[in-house]
Chains A and B, each alone.
Chain A
Amino acid sequence: MSTLDRQDATRVILSMVVSVLLIDVGINVILTDSPEVSEGLRGRLARYFGYGRSIESKLDRLIGPTDETSAEIATIGWLDSDDTSTRSALALPAKAMVSMYGMSFVRRIGQALEEIDPSITTRFIGGPGAPANHCYDAFLRDRNNHQAPVVVMGITANGVSNTMTLTGATWAFEFPFPYTYPLFRVVNGDLDRVDPIIETIDDFRRARKDRKSWTRWVQQLAENDSYYDPFLFRKSIFDSSATVRVIRRAWAQRRDQLALQKLVTAKGFVPNSPELQSIAAICEKFTGIARADGRFPIIILVNNRGFSDYLYQALSDFFKKTDIPYISTHNLAPATDPSNFIADGHFIEAADRAIAEELRGRILPYLSSEPAIE
């Protein structure tokens, strides 16, 4: 190797290192990820390079000392909440009331149901992307709060992998949802319950200020939450580096991929995974309790984009065998048809209406019956 070659190689390497540093600093200076620059191309780019911040860092930005100083998304989904955005129409007459537990998909179907049949009133409790355990606990907590003769629970195909979690903060890396919920897992044929240490947004605020409490919460996540990953969760000085943020985002992507690979193949969900066992048991309990309360239970299987009819395939036989009423979206708005979806992944209005029509057909006979709880 000649001296000239060596000098050239050294210069190239040095220039490369300096350039990476300059890119890193440049992104941080030009694309400050703050509410002031949330609009336009600059805002979008700032958000893009902010996705890779640690979950703790993002939660700190979302949650202020009061609800008024917090982002709206951070206040949604808490199961003890009296927030009217998650609990609606509590005081309405019972006769044609449907109580729904789920996520945005279910909420939209509920809205479509009211549009199709104005005599029906829906009430909804849910959280963004809420997995089955959140829905089930919402139903349990809500049992004595209403007189609806029909109860509906939604399960999404993309939420199956989030079943073994305690909070929306771990699995939703890019937009963490701080709300928490119990974890249900099948142990010796029964549903074992693990309650989260943090149950309210105020608990969260207090714990975030108290190192000991926060450590306990993180410890609980590390022990129980299948999506917890310290590199993604813990805040550190490296949050300031755009390069580390890009790497962290890729790491999260790989984690999500690995989680899905364990659960889903090209043919559908892997049978008998702990997640599916837990969902099946939750559905069975939900149905049993609702019937014992004198209500008609029904489950909506939301086969959303990227999952074909996998959820239907995975659960329909079990539902038939255990006499669990359900409707599945796979034949009403196939997930393999992109025209059934809007850009954010929700169904188009026509699809929501088609699902709501199907739901209405199933629940109509039960809406006029007398509720068990007065």
Chain B
Amino acid sequence: MWFNSLTFAVFMAIVYPLYRVLPHRGQNVMLLVASYVFYGMWDWRFLGLIIISTCVDFFVGNALANGRKATRRLYLWISITTNLGLLATFKYFGFFSESLQALLSVVGFDVGWTTIHIVLPVGISFYTFQTMSYTIDIYRRKIQPTERFLDFSLFVAFFPQLVAGPIERAANLLPQIESPRSLSLAQSSRGLYLILFGLFKKVAIADGIANSVNTIYGSTGSLTGIDIILACYLFTIQIYCDFAGYSDIARGISKLMGIELMTNFKTPYFATNPSEVWQRWHISLSSWLRDYLYIPLGGNRGGELKTYRNLLITMALGGLWHGNSWNFAFWGLFHGGWLSFHRLISSLSNHRKIVCGIRSRCTKLLKILACYHAWCYSMILFRAESLEQTITFSSIWAYDFSTWSTSVPMPTFAALSGLLLLVPLEIAEYVKGSPLFYRKWPATIRGAYYALLLYLILMGTSNEPVQFIYFQF
């Protein structure tokens, strides 16, 4: 069930009125049932995996709170092994099996076993990371476990963020589930705005660009350098509008229920360096990787070389989190390398004053552009169908500057019009430093602005609907 589908509109038309009339405990029961229905509509068999993850982490959480030091470590490993085991089985089994097979064949062993292709349960990477953070935080004595199984089940399965995040922390979401929630007009209006804005990004822009990108990446024939460069730019726009759009809708729906989810994107294409990129892009994942992987690995505490090593490991695993292919691992390594390089350059410039101290707007703009283009290039690794395609694309744009293949469909009119509106909005948010900048506008202007968003969504509904990209992770 996609957020941008009629089925979801009907689902919400049932869930939301019920939510508004039920008392707090009833709301939680109803939301849990609704969340399981929401998830089960993809494939009800995978509900079992959520329930396994929920049961194990609930009982481990409570055991951790009361256990001795030795047993606590054991309980933590049970939780981590279960969650990573689910991930390894359902997401990475085929990948590891095929990679091992390929490796063995290189050294002369033709094992010839048959790879089992397991269907990837939607959102498995999101909810396993979310539940793992719960047990790890209890282990670290940062939070106390909940005693209510139903509340914990809802924390794991809360439908707005179940399949594509944000990856919530128990410290933020669980107390909101456990306590009665109130709803202010400001929260409701902000929630509605986020839904509108998220749909605008997804339906009008991302879906209107998808066909152009898919044609180029799905091509088996010859492409020009211009095709590839354009596909790079378009894909960065598509994935931002698709994923940030999803996060906005998830946050908007939650706000309508009085629940605040974390912000997942903060104008990421205005970052001036890779470190800032990851403070602005998919924040819930990058902060998870920082807190539960990078820092436990030693972070930046063991000298520069170890820091670089930790960055590379963290980002490579972060890349693999996205998908079971070497492309994602290399994408992660690219970012690990980029972060390390930036760290090295920054330390050199700090100590030796290599870089001129002038912080002009022009310098900042150049940094933003450079950073954005490095990101664009990395997204070839992210989107390419194979490593070979990445290599081909990387080589073509270096020498082939013939014209754009006219048969590659142009983005739709809705997408192009949407971009004309989105770009100044993103600039305004960046310059004002707040996503709430539009609230200072007079009511009539705000109304006209919402009407424009609504109209662009309506125009965008003529785009071919495309599944949210992050559902596959």
Pick the interface stretch among A86-94, A217-225, A330-338: A330-338
Determine whether A25 belongs to the interface, using a CB cutoff of 8 Å to chain B: no
Question: Which residues of B sit under 8 angstroms from A338, Cβ to Cβ?
Answer: 215-216, 219, 221, 223, 227, 405, 407-408
> When the two chains form their complex, are residues B443 and A243 in contact, meaning their CB atoms are under 8 A apart?
no
Interface size in chain B (residues, C-beta < 8 A) = 35
| Cα of A342 to Cα of B223 in the assembled complex, Å | 14
> When the two chains form their complex, are residues B220 and A250 in contact, meaning their CB atoms are under 8 A apart?
no
Interface centre among A20, A334, A348 (most CB of B within 10 A): A20
Q: Which of B221, B413, B446 contacts A336 (CB 8 A)?
A: B221
Nearest-CB residue, chain B, relative to A247: B458
Nearest CB of A to B329, in Å: 25
| Cα of A37 to Cα of B441 in the assembled complex, Å | 37
> When the two chains form their complex, are residues B221 and A15 in contact, meaning their CB atoms are under 8 A apart?
no
> When the two chains form their complex, are residues A336 and B218 in contact, meaning their CB atoms are under 8 A apart?
yes
Determine whether B222 belongs to the interface, using a CB cutoff of 8 Å to chain A: yes
Question: Which residues of B sit under 8 angstroms from A18, Cβ to Cβ?
Answer: 447
> When the two chains form their complex, are residues A20 and B444 in contact, meaning their CB atoms are under 8 A apart?
no
> When the two chains form their complex, are residues A1 and B185 in contact, meaning their CB atoms are under 8 A apart?
yes
> When the two chains form their complex, are residues B407 and A343 in contact, meaning their CB atoms are under 8 A apart?
yes
Determine whether A116 belongs to the interface, using a CB cutoff of 8 Å to chain B: no
Pick the interface stretch among B164-172, B237-245, B448-456: B448-456
> When the two chains form their complex, are residues A15 and B452 in contact, meaning their CB atoms are under 8 A apart?
no
Q: Which of A217-242 contact B (CB under 8 A)?
A: none
> When the two chains form their complex, are residues B221 and A23 in contact, meaning their CB atoms are under 8 A apart?
no
| Cα of A12 to Cα of B452 in the assembled complex, Å | 13
> When the two chains form their complex, are residues A20 and B223 in contact, meaning their CB atoms are under 8 A apart?
no
Question: Which residues of B sit under 8 angstroms from A17, Cβ to Cβ?
Answer: 447, 451
Determine whether B189 belongs to the interface, using a CB cutoff of 8 Å to chain A: yes
Question: Which residues of A sit under 8 angstroms from B448, Cβ to Cβ?
Answer: 15-16, 19
| Cα of A19 to Cα of B465 in the assembled complex, Å | 27
Determine whether A214 belongs to the interface, using a CB cutoff of 8 Å to chain B: no
Interface centre among A247, A250, A334 (most CB of B within 10 A): A250
Interface centre among A6, A23, A45, A339 (most CB of B within 10 A): A339
| Cα of A45 to Cα of B443 in the assembled complex, Å | 30
Interface size in chain A (residues, C-beta < 8 A) = 40
Question: Which residues of B sit under 8 angstroms from A337, Cβ to Cβ?
Answer: 219-222
Nearest-CB residue, chain A, relative to B218: A336
Nearest CB of A to B110, in Å: 28
Nearest CB of A to B471, in Å: 15
Nearest-CB residue, chain B, relative to A15: B447
| Cα of A48 to Cα of B458 in the assembled complex, Å | 13
Determine whether B304 belongs to the interface, using a CB cutoff of 8 Å to chain A: no
Determine whether B462 belongs to the interface, using a CB cutoff of 8 Å to chain A: yes
| Cα of A348 to Cα of B464 in the assembled complex, Å | 25
Question: Which residues of A sit under 8 angstroms from B216, Cβ to Cβ?
Answer: 338
> When the two chains form their complex, are residues B458 and A246 in contact, meaning their CB atoms are under 8 A apart?
yes
| Cα of A338 to Cα of B404 in the assembled complex, Å | 11
Given A12-B446, A336-B219: A23 touches B407 (CB 8 Å cut-off): no
Nearest-CB residue, chain A, relative to B463: A253
Question: Which residues of A sit under 8 angstroms from B443, Cβ to Cβ?
Answer: 8, 11-12, 15
Nearest-CB residue, chain B, relative to A243: B458
**B44-83, CB under 8 A of A: which get 1 and which 0?**
0000000000000000000000000000000000000000
Nearest CB of A to B378, in Å: 24
Determine whether A249 belongs to the interface, using a CB cutoff of 8 Å to chain B: yes
| Cα of A127 to Cα of B452 in the assembled complex, Å | 40
Q: Which of A7-50 contact B (CB under 8 A)?
A: 8-9, 11-20, 23, 45, 48
Determine whether B459 belongs to the interface, using a CB cutoff of 8 Å to chain A: yes
Determine whether A257 belongs to the interface, using a CB cutoff of 8 Å to chain B: yes
Determine whether B116 belongs to the interface, using a CB cutoff of 8 Å to chain A: no
Question: Which residues of A sit under 8 angstroms from B227, Cβ to Cβ?
Answer: 338
Q: Which of B218, B220, B406, B461 contacts A342 (CB 8 A)?
A: B406
Question: Which residues of B sit under 8 angstroms from A99, Cβ to Cβ?
Answer: none
Determine whether B186 belongs to the interface, using a CB cutoff of 8 Å to chain A: yes
Nearest CB of B to A312, in Å: 15
> When the two chains form their complex, are residues A19 and B461 in contact, meaning their CB atoms are under 8 A apart?
no
Determine whether A329 belongs to the interface, using a CB cutoff of 8 Å to chain B: no
Question: Which residues of B sit under 8 angstroms from A336, Cβ to Cβ?
Answer: 218-221
> When the two chains form their complex, are residues B454 and A20 in contact, meaning their CB atoms are under 8 A apart?
yes
Q: Which of B201-240 contact A (CB under 8 A)?
A: 215-216, 218-223, 227
Nearest-CB residue, chain B, relative to A341: B407
> When the two chains form their complex, are residues A339 and B221 in contact, meaning their CB atoms are under 8 A apart?
yes
Determine whether A5 belongs to the interface, using a CB cutoff of 8 Å to chain B: yes
Question: Which residues of A sit under 8 angstroms from B452, Cβ to Cβ?
Answer: 19, 23
Nearest CB of A to B106, in Å: 30
Nearest-CB residue, chain A, relative to B458: A246
Nearest CB of A to B160, in Å: 23
Determine whether A340 belongs to the interface, using a CB cutoff of 8 Å to chain B: yes
> When the two chains form their complex, are residues A11 and B447 in contact, meaning their CB atoms are under 8 A apart?
yes
Q: Which of A13, A247, A305 contacts B407 (CB 8 A)?
A: A305
Question: Which residues of A sit under 8 angstroms from B186, Cβ to Cβ?
Answer: 5
Question: Which residues of B sit under 8 angstroms from A15, Cβ to Cβ?
Answer: 443-448, 451
Nearest CB of B to A258, in Å: 11
Question: Which residues of B sit under 8 angstroms from A252, Cβ to Cβ?
Answer: 462
Given A14-B447, A334-B221: A339 touches B462 (CB 8 Å cut-off): no
Question: Which residues of A sit under 8 angstroms from B444, Cβ to Cβ?
Answer: 11, 15
> When the two chains form their complex, are residues B450 and A5 in contact, meaning their CB atoms are under 8 A apart?
no
**A128-141, CB under 8 A of B: which get 1 and which 0?**
00000000000000
Nearest CB of B to A82, in Å: 35
Nearest-CB residue, chain B, relative to A336: B220
Question: Which residues of B sit under 8 angstroms from A12, Cβ to Cβ?
Answer: 189, 443, 446-447, 450
Nearest CB of A to B396, in Å: 12
| Cα of A8 to Cα of B458 in the assembled complex, Å | 25
Nearest-CB residue, chain A, relative to B455: A23
Question: Which residues of B sit under 8 angstroms from A1, Cβ to Cβ?
Answer: 185
Question: Which residues of A sit under 8 angstroms from B447, Cβ to Cβ?
Answer: 11-19
Nearest-CB residue, chain A, relative to B406: A343
Q: Can you give 6 A-B contacts (C-beta < 8 A)?
A: A1-B185, A11-B443, A17-B451, A334-B221, A338-B408, A339-B219
With A9-B189, A340-B221 known, 7 other A-B pairs at CB within 8 A are A6-B185, A15-B451, A20-B454, A246-B455, A305-B407, A334-B220, A339-B405
A-B interface, 3 closest residue pairs, ranked by CB to CB distance from nearest: A337-B221, A15-B447, A19-B451
